[in-house]
Structure 1
Amino acid sequence: MNGTPRLEFIKVLLSGSRFRIPSAFVGHVIDDNHGKAMIFLADKFWHIKVQKTEEGLFFTDGWEEMIKAHGLSEGCILSFCYEGNMVFTLKVFGHDACRINNFSINSEGFKNRNAYVEFNGIGEDSNRLGQIPSANNCDETNVASPSVPPAHSLSGIKSEDETSCTKNIIQYKKKIHRTNLVHGRIGVPLWVCASTGLKSSHDVTIRGPDRRLWTIFFSYSPQTPRLGKGWSEFCEHHKLEIGDLCIFTHVSKRDKLFDVQIKRASHERASTSYEDEV
C-alpha cells in the first residue's frame, strides 16, 4: 500500500450471503489474511469476516448486510482496490456500466452492528447520521474540547495547536520539520493517545487528502509516542516539505483511523509556536 502499485480485481455481484475472492487474487492477500477485512464504500467502513473453505476465500459475515444497506442488486459490477492489510476500497457500477455514486441507503442493513462500523465518521452507537465538520472547516484557534483533557493535564509538556470542532472530534496539528522527513517519524501528542486509546504499539490507518489509505506503525512510549514505519512513504507521496502543516482528525477508535489534511508552507505565515519533532 505504501508507495507501491495497488492491486485491483473486478467481479459481477451474485446473490447470496457470501462473496468469493478470485483465486488469482488470493495469493496477493493470503499473508495479510487475519480472518476479517475492512471494506470502504460510500464514506462508510464495514467489517467483513473472511473465511477460507475448500472452495476458496470468501467475504462472509457482514457481506450481505453491506449489499442490502446500499440497495445493490445482482448483476452490478464491483471493483475492489486493495489498500493492504485486508483493507479494500469498493467502487460499484450499475447494469448500464456507469459508476454508482449515490446509493439508496436502506436502514435495515445497518441493524447488524458487527458489520457496520461508521457513517461519515460517526459510529452507529451515537445514533447520529449527519455530517461532521471536515478538518478544513475547523476553527484553528486553541480550543479546549469538553471531552478532551488539555495537553498539560496529561503530559506536562507543551503540545501543538490542538482543536476540536465538537466534543466528538479529536484533532491535532503537526508542523513538518526536517527530522520528520529525514528520520521518517512524527510525534503524536500524549493527550491524543489517551483520548483515542493508543496505549500500545501497533498499526494505525491514516487517510490522506486524496482519500488513499496508508498503514503507519504507531510506536508507543510514555515519553515520545510517534508514527514511524510507513510515514516516509506518506511524506514522499504527498511531497511534504519543511513548514507544511498536517492536520490529523481522529475518525474511528475501532479502526484506528485518522484523516489528514495538508496545508502547504507557501500558503501559511511563518510561525514559531511549534516545537521541534522527535
Structure 2
Amino acid sequence: MGSHDKPQFVKVLLPEFLEKLPIPDAIAQLLMHQHNGTATLFSPLGKFWHIALEKDADDNTHFSNGWREFSRAHDFTAGDFLLFRYEGNMVFKVKVFDVTGCRKQYDRAISEKRSFGAKDEILEDVCDGMCNSDDWQNLSTGRRKRGKPTAPKEQLQTPPGFLATDKSATKNNRAKTVPHFEKIIRPYNFSCGHMSVPRKFCASNGLTRKEEMVLEDPKRRSWHVKLWHGVSDSRLLSGWKEFSAVNKLEEGDKCTFQLVSDGILRVLIQKRRA
C-alpha cells in the first residue's frame, strides 16, 4: 500500500486537546479491530511513543494516557494542526504544522530536555526518514533494532569575510558578553520566508514588544526586518528573504545572531562544506 493509500486524518489543536485528543470514528474503528488498547506514534523528534486509547461516556475514542507528555515534549500550542497517517499495526506517523501553515522544525538536542518524565513512553530512537518495513516489524514484535554506526558529521569551513564560530573558547567567551542564539538553515527558512527567534531570547532581552529589527551581516550591511511575535515563538519576516539571498545562505549553514545593541542583530555566518 502506497503512502497516498494509507488512512490519514488532521486535527487542529484546541486548548482542551493538549490533555487528550479525540480520534475520528472511522479511524477509531480501524484501531478497535486490532484489539489493542495502545497506539504508537512516530513523532517528528524521531521517537516512538506509546499512547493509551480511551473511550468516554459518549463512546468517543481519544488518545489519553501519554498524550499530555507527547504534547509537552513537542511544544504543542492551541492553533497548531497535526497530520496523522496510519501505518498499520496501531502505528501512526505524525507531522506538526504551526498556525502559519508551515511545518514545525525540531532540534533533537532540545527534544531530550522537553521529554520531561515521559522516557517510559518512548520505545526507541530512529532515523529522520520514514521507517522501513523491518522497523515496523521490530516495533510490533517488541524487538529493538540495533542502530547503525553514525557517520562523522561534516566539518564546517569559514570563507573570507565570515567569522568562524567552531572554536569552543571563542564561543564561550562570546556567550558571556553578547546575548545570542544559533540557528542551522533549514529548507523551510526559504520556502516559508522566515527565521524563528527563541521565545526565551526575546523575553530575556526585552524584545517582546519590538516589531522591527536590523540584521547586520559580516560585511556590516544592514537590513530592516519585521519581528512577529506568536504564541510559541517569534519570527523574522519581511526582509529575511533579501538578507538570505544576498548572503547566499544555503541549507546547513550555521547563523549566530548576536544582539549587539537595542534592535540590532549581528549575524555571523558559518558555511557548510559542499
**Structure with a larger share of its residues in helix:** 2
The reply to whether TM is greater than 0.5 is no
The two structures have a TM-score, normalised by structure 2, of 0.44
The two structures have a TM-score, normalised by structure 1, of 0.43
